[in-house]
Amino acid sequence: MQVTCGDMRLDLSRPRIMGIVNVTPDSFSDGGEHDTLAAAADHARKLIAEGADIIDIGGESTRPMAETVSVAEELERVIPLVEILRGCGAIISVDTRKPEVMHAAIQAGAHMINDVQALQAEGALSIVAPAGVAVCVLHMQGEPQNMQRQANYNDVTETVYEFLQQRIDALLAAGVARERIIIDPGFGFGKQLQHNLQLLKHLAVFTGLNYPILVGMSRKSMLGALTGRAVGEREAAGLAAHLYAVNQGANIIRVHDVAACRDALTVWQAIKGTQ
């Protein structure tokens, strides 16, 4: 399996790592605009050196209850970093829900749009479809501001599966080539612990859609709920969850801790490749 990411290709004959670079003031706290940008670029280069195949740049947090960001602010955070990092060897992904940011990111040379709203914003599909970039579509119930309130499902796996199938159909109908599409069940996006665990346990079901699967559980509250650990102490818990996902057929894992993840995948691959 291979994903078309603009002028780059992502080979999925082995699991791949998407390294997270959040360009939000709380991530690279001190200093002004320039310091934030330089720190984010340094961090991205470190993740690439550690083995990230994709760098996911985000200027708006989509954690539960996170505050929204204006278009101007998000553009200012994200686009300069895309310009700095394009041509660095890794695939550049931009994590955004805003069509204006998608447009500018594509113009600036991004290879992938990662949208937790699955291109449902007005105008998003018509901006992304004519470009050659890859697209990751994710299942979310509600909005980041309220998604933990109403989390309820009859059968979470079935609901997420049907939603992703619908979004795939919408993307194909809009002219997005199938080689450009990646799916994500959306761990932590309007799901309670039991829903996240059910999705993870039955992740292999999603291979039935026949699209590359991306998952992200890094540092999320589901890991905190299970271990009692604070956000900064969830690396081991994340590794266990991500390896389980890879074993169920996940192709790309979205993580903060790239080096540890690389080692875990190396061991997993050696086992998998043994006769």
Paired tokens of 24: 């939000």
Q: Would you say 24 or 87 has its CB closer to ligand PT1?
A: 24
Q: Which of 220, 234, 242, 256 binds ligand PT1 (CB under 6 A)?
A: 220
**Could you say which of 180, 191, 234, 254 is catalytic?**
254
Q: Would you say 136 or 258 has its CB closer to ligand PT1?
A: 136
- Assess whether 220 carries a catalytic annotation: yes
Name 266's Cβ contacts closer than 8 Å, sequence gap at least 6: none
Query: How many angstroms separate the CA atoms of 232 and 53, rounded?
Result: 23
Residue 188 binds ligand PT1 (CB under 6 A): yes
Residue 255 binds ligand PT1 (CB under 6 A): no
Residue 16 binds ligand PT1 (CB under 6 A): no
192-199 contacts at long range (C-beta below 8 A, 24 or more positions apart): 192/151, 193/222, 193/225, 193/226, 195/151, 195/153, 195/156, 196/220, 196/222, 197/222, 198/156, 198/157, 199/156, 199/157, 199/160
Q: Which of 53, 60, 74, 95 binds ligand PT1 (CB under 6 A)?
A: 95
Q: Which of 47, 138, 183, 246 binds ligand PT1 (CB under 6 A)?
A: 138
Cβ 227 to ligand PT1, closest distance in Å? Answer: 13
* Crossing angle of the two packed helices 99-108 and 71-85, in degrees rounded to 10: 20
Residue 117 binds ligand PT1 (CB under 6 A): no
**Could you say which of 45, 191, 220, 234 is catalytic?**
220
The Cα-based distances of 55 to 88, 90, 130, 224, 247 in angstroms read: 10, 7, 23, 25, 23
Q: How many residues bind ligand PT1 (CB under 6 A)?
A: 18
Q: Which of 27, 221, 247, 248 binds ligand PT1 (CB under 6 A)?
A: 221
Residue 62 binds ligand PT1 (CB under 6 A): yes
Cβ 191 to ligand PT1, closest distance in Å? Answer: 8
CA dihedral 62, 24, 5, 14 (to 10 degrees): -80
Q: Which of 9, 14, 46, 63 binds ligand PT1 (CB under 6 A)?
A: 63
By C-alpha distance, which of 141, 142, 128, 94 is closest to 114? 94
Q: Is 157 exposed, middle or buried (0-12, 13-18, 19+ CB in 10 A)?
A: middle
Stretch of 117-125, 149-157, 184-192, 257-265 lying at the interface with ligand PT1 (CB under 6 A)? 184-192
Active site residues per annotation:
220, 254
Q: Which residues bind ligand PT1 (CB under 6 A)?
A: 62-64, 95, 114, 116, 136, 138, 184, 186-189, 214, 216, 220-221, 254
